[in-house]
Amino acid sequence: MKKAIKSVIAVALASTMAATALAGCGAGSSSGSAASAGGSGEKVTLNLGYWDNERQGDTMRKLVAAYTKENPNVTINLQYTPYKGGEYWTKLDASMNGGTAPDVFWMNCLHAKKYVNGNMLEPLDDALKAANIDVTKDFPTALSQIYTFNSKVYAVPKDFDTNAVWYNKEIFDAAKVPYPKDGWTWEDMVATAKKLTNSSKGIYGIASPLDFQTCYWNTIFANGGSIVSSDSKSTLYSDAKTMGGIQPWIDLILKDKVSPDINTLTDNSADSLFESGKLAMCYGASYMIAEYLSSDTIKGKVNLVSLPTLNGSKGNVINGLGYAVYSKSKQKEAAKKLAAWLGSAEAQKIQGEVGAVISARNDAQQYFTKTQPSLNLQVYIDAVADSKPLPTLTVSSELFDNESKYLKQAWAGTMTLKDACAKLDADNKTLLEKEK
């Protein structure tokens, strides 16, 4: 998700959606009317779009097998599209324009509002009620809010991710430094990183990548800051609490000397450095587990701990995917029934037991921690209580592009953080005028 969020939405969706509405094209596939497809037993074929086949492909195939076993009249075609480079969203936009979008598909918070505004997503409240699912009670509040617009639910929460600090026990042992413990502070983390940084071996204590979701937004929230005002009319980068949550990351590079510089982190991601044994500690989201454990260099040598407090407070970023239904689907009722089932206790148990992601349902999160009992995965679930969701804006990608443009200069020491934040707020003022 981290890399995915950085992708740019290249298509002018608003005009695309308008064209689609005028065309009035249907979508979906195969036999059966929308009315009969919900449960008459008539054969129905549904297309289910998703983007992560490497880590979640097995999960999706197990879910399809379970659902079609219970509903033998339904055939589900999984449609995988890579996320990299924005391919998933570009293809989804094009298929909506042509009236051929998948009946059910993965959605994230950064795109949901734009599709809702374009009338491309079907409200799911009636299907959820029929399935006895209450998103306000069955899922974390932050997740249920992400996909609720004008009191209607437009996607069933699928999973969520929060953040923690991973550490390489082998590097700690070699330096005779105790492993970090939950409840530690930012100052503890910096002091530990200094003990572990060994330039002669090319090892750094930690990394400070320009990564908002995994890194500095967590400390902004912990410090009481925010990115966007409550009315979404302005950004708040120049707020003292917001800057106070960003500055410690710059200090890791320029002052504390415990992180590679921004040019190095541009050429080599913090994740790749951690996986190659060059980082003692690394901020990592829960969706990175499979990738970290696939590294032969660090496998069996790592564990994780909760994020350090900043100025005495905790903060974390929560984000989650959802299952949405295409409003032009010819199999709308069957699609809504499938989407609701994917949010059921049965489906989320199947997903949780695979262990690729944390199931969104409150009663299914336990399965994730059991998949890797040697790791302290509970910290990801405990972090929900201190977390805030990413903002749901129609201009999210443009905002993140601006953030990267100016903060990269602050990370490099060529612009002060104060000046970078001032430029961000000025540029985003015009940008947010587009927000509806």
> In this structure, are residues 306 and 182 in contact, taking their beta carbons and an 8 Å threshold?
yes
The Cα 76–Cα 44 span in angstroms is 8
Q: What are phi and psi of 51, to 5 degrees?
A: -125, -10
Residue 108, H or E segment = none
Of the pLDDT bands very low, low, confident and very high (cuts 50, 70, 90), residue 436 is low
> In this structure, are residues 37 and 114 in contact, taking their beta carbons and an 8 Å threshold?
no
C-alpha pair distances (Å), 298 with each of 159, 206, 268: 26, 15, 17
What's the pLDDT score for residue 393?
84
Among 189, 197, 177, which residue's Cα sits nearest to residue 260? 197
Structure tokens at 258: 């415990």
pTM for the full model? 0.83
With vertex at residue 418, the alpha carbon angle to CA 415 and CA 422, rounded to the nearest 5 degrees, is 100
Mean pLDDT of the chain: 90
Q: What are phi and psi of 214, to 5 degrees?
A: -85, -30
| pLDDT tens-digit series, residues 403-432 | 999 999 999 999 999 999 999 999 998 888
The Cα 92–Cα 111 span in angstroms is 11
> In this structure, are residues 118 and 13 in contact, taking their beta carbons and an 8 Å threshold?
yes
The beta strands (E) that lie in 214-285 are given as 281-285
- For residue 32, is pLDDT > 60? no
What's the pLDDT score for residue 40?
60
What's the pLDDT score for residue 110?
85
| pLDDT tens-digit series, residues 255-278 | 999 999 999 999 999 999 999 999
What's the pLDDT score for residue 89?
94
| pLDDT tens-digit series, residues 177-214 | 999 999 999 999 999 999 999 989 999 999 999 999 99
- For residue 14, is pLDDT > 80? no
Of the pLDDT bands very low, low, confident and very high (cuts 50, 70, 90), residue 253 is very high
What whole-number percentage of the chain has pLDDT above 90? 79
> In this structure, are residues 148 and 136 in contact, taking their beta carbons and an 8 Å threshold?
no
| pLDDT tens-digit series, residues 102-145 | 999 999 988 999 999 999 999 999 999 999 999 999 999 888 88
| pLDDT tens-digit series, residues 330-380 | 999 999 999 999 999 999 999 999 988 999 999 999 999 999 999 999 999
What's the pLDDT score for residue 290?
85
